[in-house]
Structure 1
Amino acid sequence: MSNDDRTDDMIAPTGVSHPVRVQYSHGAQQEARGIVAQERIAQERIAQEGIAQERIAQEGIAQERIAQERIAQERIAQERIAQERIAQERIAQEGIAQEGIAQERIAQERIAQERIAQERIAQEGIAQERIAQERIAQEGIAQERIAQEGIAQERIAQERIAQERIAQERIAQERIAQERIAQERIAQERIAQEGIAQERRKK
């Protein structure tokens, strides 16, 4: 039996999951081996292509993940920037509000101080007016006192003049009375002398 006629058990591909053992001749065996090798090469190529495609797919997935992560990071960064801007705007608005409150407080304090100053000026004016009125009243009282004193002095002077007149009249009346008495005495003495003279004449 020659090598070509020799048969051997070979596993031939059948296209199913379980290969079938088939007996081949030597030439058929080589052909079968070539076919098997080609199929293996083809399978390896397919496997390599699958691996390559899987790698490409994985790389695509990885790139997509990286892109998504970048997008997510960009979104996070944008959100952070937006939040920082919002925070800065809030801080600025709070600062503006605080400045407005401070300015309002300053304005209110100025108004209060002006009111206090106006009240003080008004009170000082009222006090000065009261002092002026008291001075006028005191001057009026003093003038009234002076007038009353002048009236009293005038009354006293008039009373003195009246008393002096009364005294002078009394003195004059006393003088007149004394003169009358003296004249009466003289007349009586004359009468008496005339009577004496007449009696002497009669004798």
Structure 2
Amino acid sequence: MKLWEVIVVIIGLALEPFNEALKKGANQWHLNKVTLCLVSLLFAIIQTIMLGIGMITISLLMENLHIEGGLTFTPFLAALTLIFLSMKMFRRTFREHSFVEKREETMNYKALVKSACILGVDALILGILLALLQLAIIKNLVLTFCITSVSVALGLWMGYRLGMKYHVVVNGCSGCILLIIAFRLVMNCF
């Protein structure tokens, strides 16, 4: 995968925390800069840790098994993984949710950690995929941290200002991005 493809995949993955932040922002009575920064850092750190766990585990496994030059089926496995993640996002898009915007005084950080860890599973899967493609670990961790933190901050702010108008569109866009990259990976094999 080229750098721009990795960036697009990470953006697609970061749209999921963006959507969660959109919901949390819509529920805030008052959103200050400290809360915005804390929530952004929380999601970014958990996403980065999960991506790192996936990448480091598979990299060490491949190194211990002495697999040089990667596996021949890796692009197809990568495409299947991206298709799986995109279908998961589409399922969330089309599932009916009744969401009531109610303003809360404080941010529930315990619930935020729980939802960030749940969303981090997708980052773990992506980390495994990126390690199988033998991509640079540090560069991907830095990209994930930066993109996720900006995405969550933007989601909180937009949710606070606009409410929940666009949360369905965000999941749909996220799924489309991952499907396009999966298609591109398969086409590069031929």
Is the pair's TM-score, using the shorter chain for normalization, greater than 0.5? no
Higher relative contact order (CA 8 A, sep 6+): 2
* Pair member with larger Rg: 1
Structure 1 or 2: larger helix share? 1
Shorter-chain TM-score: which interval? under 0.3
